[in-house]
Amino acid sequence: MFTDPDMFSDVELPDLSATELDEIVGRFPHARRLLEVDGTVDGYYAGLTVDGSTFQADRADIFLAVLRRHIDDLFPPGTSTGVIDQLTRSPLLSAAEHMASITNPESLNVVINQALYRRQREQAYVLSLPITAIRLDNILLSRDLFVGDRRVRLLPSKYRDTLATDAPAVDGAFVERNLKAVVADGPPAIRARAADLRDWWERAYRDISSLDALWKQLVVLNHSYWKELVRTNHWDLPDEYVTVPMCVLVRDAMIEELEAGRDGWFYEMIFDPATRDAVYRTFDGVRSCWDSQTRSGTFLFWTTNRKGEPRAMAYEAGTLQSTGVAGTLPLSRESVVEALRSGALYPGTFLVMAYLGFYLGLQLFGGILCAQFYPEMYRRITQGNPLGLSVADLQTIEAARTDLYVNFERRKLSDGGLLKLWYPQSADAYDEYRDRSFRREIMGCMGYLLEMARKGEGD
């Protein structure tokens, strides 16, 4: 076991002053609790507890069936049985992390932090339902592959504004040319592994070439890459990383539930005019929801133009209006089902998080931005019960945890991209990370929030 000193290095974390931390908390009040955590990173995950009684199994049958079908389509036989058994016993998953290749250092770090929790519970699967209703040019978690800090593009730049859900399958020859260019321009450590990298891509492409969409290919790539990573590094982490886009799952579950005549407060938010109006007022201004003053975000759903690029949905006169393919959409069961089935609509982050976390009662891990907007969603839906929820439904939501958090700073533990396959790290790097001060590690994320606060972004 060894590392290449030029390939793996920690990024220096910011040294924030008390004044700067006050500025962050003033803009993002939910960040305060993360600054109050004592102890190590490992201690933080060891101390997390999840109340499985919140899971509404009687509502989740169609959702779990949809999840099973997608897993059966993309993963080895038997995977879905283990995943669903684990999820129903311990209803915890990662949500709202962007769909990305875990060769990306930040993305891999997210997964490793999730795995820290699963390891404490001796669970076999890291289950992530990422959001794909975001453009492919997302800077933080690119959908590309990484070799060291060099990006290997999966798709031509003309798809940069396309939703990940709608992006086409990769062209193997295109990726191979980009990989060769990255290797040719790379440092000696990368050039020395040119043959290994080429062989890896040939094997990987054989596994994904029959799939018809980028998101499906990323699911398979992430699964195989995680298996090689864990087997190589001997970090005693869960065996498998299973990821399926949550907006795809919720879309498919909604179609089947609506066609089966299902109802409940989740569907009242969409179809009952009075409840829908209350939703619009209640969540107005919450990040990842919508903002009537700035006319940003989207109400309930995203639509796209004919290139697959996202277009927001405005709420006017009881209808959804857009410049995308959905046009003006009456909010009836029939029109919504038809638009969901045709691909003209995708549930937005608000709907997905409300469905998974508040309606089904699943416990949701999230990164630093999720740790800001999800607690605010929780506060607004519970304070004064503005949607008129039943006592049982309100108690389910009140029992949900919103402080589950995964760090996503770029660290030595997850740096290096594809070269992790040939520069395995010893368990010492893993143990060192687990023993770090949680407060110190969180400073990188606080620095990111400080940048956002000074740009005027956030709640």
Residue of 217, 236, 239 lying closest to 227 (CA atoms): 239
The whole-number pLDDT of residue 413 equals: 80
Residue of 429, 435, 433, 428 lying closest to 409 (CA atoms): 433
State the sign of the Cα–Cα–Cα–Cα dihedral 76, 78, 81, 86: negative
Can you give the C-alpha Rg of the chain in angstroms?
Answer: 22
Burial of 48 (0-12, 13-18, 19+ CB in 10 A): middle
SS3 76: coil
pTM beyond 0.75, yes or no: yes
Per-residue pLDDT tens listing for the chain (459 residues): 455 666 777 778 888 999 999 999 888 888 888 888 999 999 998 888 887 888 999 999 999 999 999 999 999 999 999 999 999 988 988 886 677 888 887 788 888 888 888 888 888 999 988 876 665 555 445 678 988 888 899 999 888 888 878 889 999 999 999 999 999 998 888 898 899 999 999 999 999 999 999 999 999 999 999 988 877 777 888 889 999 999 899 999 999 999 999 999 999 999 999 999 999 999 999 988 999 988 888 999 999 998 888 899 999 989 999 999 999 999 999 999 999 999 999 999 999 999 999 999 999 988 888 888 899 999 999 999 999 999 999 999 999 888 888 877 777 788 788 888 877 777 888 888 899 999 988 888 888 888 877 876 654
d(Cα 21, Cα 70) in Å, to the nearest integer? 43
* Helices 246-259/61-74 angle, 10° precision: 130
The whole-number pLDDT of residue 350 equals: 93
The whole-number pLDDT of residue 115 equals: 86
Strand partners, 303: 311
DSSP 6-46: TT--PPPPP---HHHHHHHHHH-GGGHHHHT--SBHHHHHH
The whole-number pLDDT of residue 142 equals: 66
Give the CB-side neighbour count of residue 266, counting CA atoms within 13 A: 23
Eight-class DSSP state of 171: P
- CA separation (Å) from 407 to 231, 241, 449? 23, 17, 13
